[in-house]
């Protein structure tokens, strides 16, 4: 298994390598660090390219296998996608942006481009991500709209291969619910039923003590996300909007709110994604 890592000689590049290495450790995956340059920049001397390669590879832990290439392309985003297709990569990993506060996300142009075009899952590293230990838990955000099954399959498969706990979370934004004759218990009933269904499917594939379920709710997405607690070494898996083209990523409004509220890395899975390896 191989992961393509979008590398630039800045903080975002370091964040991406750190996250890719953490995910790879529990999977035995190989990293392909890809530095995409425009035509004019490709004329750098061999020594400059060697220096860049050494700088990038020095950030990869010794136990993780990695290679480095410089790729000439007009678009950083499409250069990474082409590399992922050629490698048959299971994942593209990038740093989300350089100006997020409190290690939370602001989606930069590269991450945003990938979230609208990638045919494979995309992992986004928050600013300043520097974990060294392997993953401790996978959290799957499972909504009730079309596409949740693909996300559950990816999360369940990934947790099983890594022997890490799987947490299933359904988020309900109370302010978006019908306010007339409002009753919280009744309002949350469909979500509760959904998470029970999802739990039953996941529990059939994983040991019972490895699967938990949480119904997160708050006046808004930010409050709901803050209220459920997060482990160091956790990553979140979400699906694409129903508006996405088949086998492509498109981050819907709810997923976008979740992304901007998360203190941990996020993996976005393309719509109708059939492969289960990440």
Q: Are 227 and 191 in contact (CB under 8 A)?
A: no
87 pLDDT above the threshold of 70: yes
Q: How far apart are CA 269 and CA 12, in angstroms?
A: 21
171 against 181, higher pLDDT: 171
Q: How far apart are CA 20 and CA 98, in angstroms?
A: 17
1 pLDDT above the threshold of 70: yes
Pick the closest to residue 167 from 209, 139, 208, 205 (CA basis): 139
- Alpha-carbon torsion (40, 115, 7, 120), positive or negative: negative
Check residue 102 and give its pLDDT.
Answer: 45
Task: Name the percent of the chain lying above pLDDT 70.
Answer: 72
Q: How far apart are CA 70 and CA 224, in angstroms?
A: 42
Pick the closest to residue 115 from 222, 229, 260 (CA basis): 260
102 against 128, higher pLDDT: 128
pLDDT in tens, 125-158: 988 899 999 899 999 887 655 656 778 888 888 8
Joined tokens for residue 175: 């302010």
pLDDT in tens, 13-43: 999 999 999 999 888 899 999 999 976 554 5
210 pLDDT above the threshold of 60: yes
Exposure class string for 69-81: b at 16+ Cβ within 10 A, else e: ebeebeebbebbb
pLDDT in tens, 230-243: 888 899 998 775 54
Check residue 205 and give its pLDDT.
Answer: 72
The per-residue pLDDT of the chain, averaged, comes to 80
The CA-atom distances, in angstroms, between 237 and each of 23, 50, 87, 255, 273 are: 13, 35, 22, 10, 13
- Give the pLDDT band of residue 252 (cuts 50, 70, 90): low
Contacts 24+ apart (CB under 8 A), 225-233: 225/171, 225/258, 225/261, 225/262, 226/261, 228/169, 230/262, 230/263, 230/264, 231/136, 231/137, 232/131, 232/136, 233/22, 233/131, 233/133, 233/134, 233/135, 233/136, 233/137
181 pLDDT above the threshold of 50: no
- Give the pLDDT band of residue 180 (cuts 50, 70, 90): very low
Opening angle at CA 71, ends 31 and 91, nearest 5: 35
Task: Name the percent of the chain lying above pLDDT 90.
Answer: 32
């Amino acid at each position: 298994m191989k992961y393509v890592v979008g590398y630039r000689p800045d903080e975002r590049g370091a964040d991406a390598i750190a996250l890719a290495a953490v995910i790879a450790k529990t999977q035995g995956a190989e990293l392909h660090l890809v530095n995409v340059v425009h035509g004019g920049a490709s004329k750098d001397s061999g020594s400059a390219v060697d220096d860049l390669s050494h700088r990038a590879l020095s950030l990869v832990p010794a136990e993780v296998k990695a290679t480095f290439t410089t790729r000439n392309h007009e678009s950083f985003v499409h250069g990474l996608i082409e590399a992922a297709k050629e490698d048959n990569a299971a994942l593209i990993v990038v740093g989300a942006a350089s100006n997020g506060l409190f290690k939370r996300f602001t989606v930069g142009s590269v991450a945003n481009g990938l979230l609208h075009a990638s045919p494979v899952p995309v992992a986004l590293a928050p600013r300043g991500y520097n974990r060294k230990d392997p993953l401790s838990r996978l959290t799957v955000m499972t909504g009730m709209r079309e596409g949740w099954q693909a996300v559950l399959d990816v999360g369940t498969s990934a947790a099983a291969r890594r022997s890490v706990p799987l947490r299933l979370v359904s988020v309900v934004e109370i302010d978006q619910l019908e306010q007339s004759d409002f009753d919280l218990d009744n309002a949350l009933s469909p979500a509760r039923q959904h998470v029970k269904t999802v739990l039953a499917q996941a529990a059939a594939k994983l040991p019972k003590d490895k699967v938990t379920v949480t119904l997160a709710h708050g006046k808004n997405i930010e409050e709901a996300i803050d209220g459920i607690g997060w482990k160091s070494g956790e990553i979140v898996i979400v699906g694409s909007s129903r508006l996405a083209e088949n086998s492509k990523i498109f981050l819907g409004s709810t997923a976008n709110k979740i992304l901007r509220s998360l203190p941990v890395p996020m993996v976005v899975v393309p719509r109708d994604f059939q492969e289960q390896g990440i």
